[in-house]
Amino acid sequence: MKKFLVPIIIVACVATTQVVNAQTPDEKEVAVAVEALRKAILDGDKTRLEKISAEKLSYGHSSGQIENKEEFVAALATGKADFTRIEISDQKILITGNTAIVRHVLKGDFVLGGTTTTLNLSVMLVWQKQGKDWKLLARQAIKIV
């Protein structure tokens, strides 16, 4: 009996893991958009940052500073804020209608005014589907201590 029970338990565990990790097509698109944003921030790529950001973007930093789209893009594209590392983990995506809420942990390094700062943040992103594309509408980060 034990010989038959072990394979059944293994199959059940694998099936459960696949269901838990399954993503809808929209969740996959949002995950791709999050990765595109991460790369655009690292590269300071003005064109990609403008394309992925909604016109009414509200970008909140862990310091309490809030930027609009123009300020967010300019800080990265001009090198005023220069990210040298961004690692994302523990990402969760919740979609309701044409809105997606993404929460994750961001660890990274950035240079601002010649000073390098290491980040350990909890981030919430709000994405809105506009046409075929997911656009970043809002972002808020808090420091993890």
pLDDT 10s digits, 44-79: 999 999 999 999 999 999 999 999 999 999 999 999
Distance CA 103, CA 122 (A): 7
Distance CA 63, CA 142 (A): 8
Q: With cut-offs at 50, 70 and 90, classify the pLDDT of residue 7.
A: very low
Sheet strand arrangement including 115-130: 66-67, 53-60, 133-143, 115-130, 99-112, 81-96
Q: Bigger pLDDT: 113 or 10?
A: 113
18 pLDDT above the threshold of 70: no
Helix (H, G, I), strand (E, B) or coil at 111: strand
Which has the closest alpha carbon to 134: 54, 40, 62, 70?
Answer: 54
Percent of the chain clearing pLDDT 70 (strictly above): 85
40 pLDDT above the threshold of 70: yes
Q: With cut-offs at 50, 70 and 90, classify the pLDDT of residue 113.
A: confident
Helix (H, G, I), strand (E, B) or coil at 121: strand
Which has the closest alpha carbon to 103: 51, 130, 139, 136?
Answer: 139
Sequence spans of domains, the chain:
24-143
User: Does domain 24-143 correspond to CATH entry 3.40.50.150?
Assistant: no
In whole angstroms, how far apart are CA 62 and each of 6, 21, 94, 113?
48, 29, 22, 17
